[in-house]
């Protein structure tokens, strides 16, 4: 698995369907970040071969959020192993058997297996949105519930908003790998994110990796934007 950074590392989110744009970003950003995120938009548009080209430049966080019956998720994880991702996401709501199946499939890759990360509550989701799906108690309570379930079932870590990081560290200590989207440098447009924090705040709270997309990729100079955030995170 990818080593933990000394302080929070940066994952640049390459949220695009264009392989040319993604490869240009990868070349520009690789010197300044520790990992590159590729998600559904990129994977559906371009397929595994395009992911492999990005993975040749830097470690890849393959954010496909698998959520299906255990056997299907295990098969999807096995298929993804050929791309050698550093991290791979599943939905925590899939339940213990699904998480266990994903972990067992990942272990077939041996010591270089990807970290299995359970996505708890999306950073665009607030209490009102959760309530419409029948989940009461708000995001924090749901994150805590899903964290306990998935970590006990073999997940290596969690994807969660900055607001829940202190609570999860208090409940589960230093062991879980915490990967945190919803990062917005001071003065940035929050966009469609509802539970956000700055890079420095999130690192201080105990996050391992910060997923940062538009504040980097939409900047006039993405490499300079990434370098500036990286400097702000140095001890």
For residues 101 and 178, what is the distance between their CA atoms, to the nearest angstrom? 21
For 134: left if phi > 0, alpha if psi spans -120 to 50, otherwise beta; the answer is: left
For residue 81 the two structure tokens come to 């192993």
**Cα distance from N-terminal residue to C-terminal residue, the chain:** 24
Given pLDDT bands bounded at 50, 70 and 90, which one contains residue 6? confident
Q: What is the mean pLDDT of residues 121-147?
A: 92
Which of 192, 195, 194, 186 shows the shortest CA–CA distance to 167?
A: 195
Give pLDDT, residue 1: 81
Say whether 37 is catalytic. Answer: no
180 strand-pairing partners: 210
Taken in order 129, 134, 138, 144, the sign of the CA dihedral is negative
Give pLDDT, residue 95: 97
More confident position, 197 or 83: 83
For residue 80 the two structure tokens come to 């993804």
3-class DSSP state of 84: coil
What domains sit in the chain, N to C, each tagged with a CATH number?
Answer: 9-229 (3.20.20.70)
Tell me which of 32, 37, 65, 91 is the catalytic residue: 65
Q: Are strands 157-159 and 115-119 parallel, antiparallel or unpaired?
A: parallel
- pLDDT tens figures, 62-88: 999 999 999 999 999 999 999 999 999
Residue matched to tokens 């698995």: 1
Q: What is the mean pLDDT of residues 39-60?
A: 96
pTM of the model: 0.93
Q: What is the mean pLDDT of residues 25-54?
A: 97
Cβ-contact 195, 139 below 8 angstroms:
yes
Which of 226, 100, 118, 212 shows the shortest CA–CA distance to 164?
A: 118
Helix (H) or strand (E) holding 189: none
Given pLDDT bands bounded at 50, 70 and 90, which one contains residue 194? low
Give pLDDT, residue 150: 98
Phi first, then psi: what are they for 13, rounded to 5°? Answer: -85, 110
């Amino acid at each position: 698995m990818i080593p933990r950074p000394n302080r929070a590392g940066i994952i640049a989110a390459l949220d695009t369907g264009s392989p040319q744009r993604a490869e240009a970003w990868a070349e520009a950003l690789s010197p300044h970040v520790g990992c590159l995120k590729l998600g559904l938009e990129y994977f559906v548009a371009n397929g595994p071969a395009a992911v492999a080209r990005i993975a040749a430049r830097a470690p890849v966080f393959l954010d496909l959020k698998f959520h299906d019956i255990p056997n299907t998720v295990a098969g999807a994880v096995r298929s993804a192993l050929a791309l050698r991702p550093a991290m791979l996401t599943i939905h925590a709501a899939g339940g213990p058997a699904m998480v266990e199946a994903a972990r067992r499939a990942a272990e077939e890759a041996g010591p270089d297996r990807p970290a299995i990360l359970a996505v708890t509550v999306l950073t665009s989701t607030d209490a009102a949105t959760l309530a419409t799906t029948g989940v009461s108690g708000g995001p924090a309570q749901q994150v805590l519930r899903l964290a306990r379930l998935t970590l006990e079932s073999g997940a290596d870590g969690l994807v969660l908003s900055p607001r829940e990081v202190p609570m999860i560290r208090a409940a589960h200590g230093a062991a879980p790998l915490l990967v945190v989207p919803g990062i917005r440098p001071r003065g940035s447009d929050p966009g469609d994110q509802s539970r956000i924090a700055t890079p420095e705040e999130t690192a201080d709270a105990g996050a391992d990796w910060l997923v940062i997309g538009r504040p980097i990729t939409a900047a006039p100079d993405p490499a300079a934007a990434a370098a500036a955030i990286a400097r702000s995170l140095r001890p």
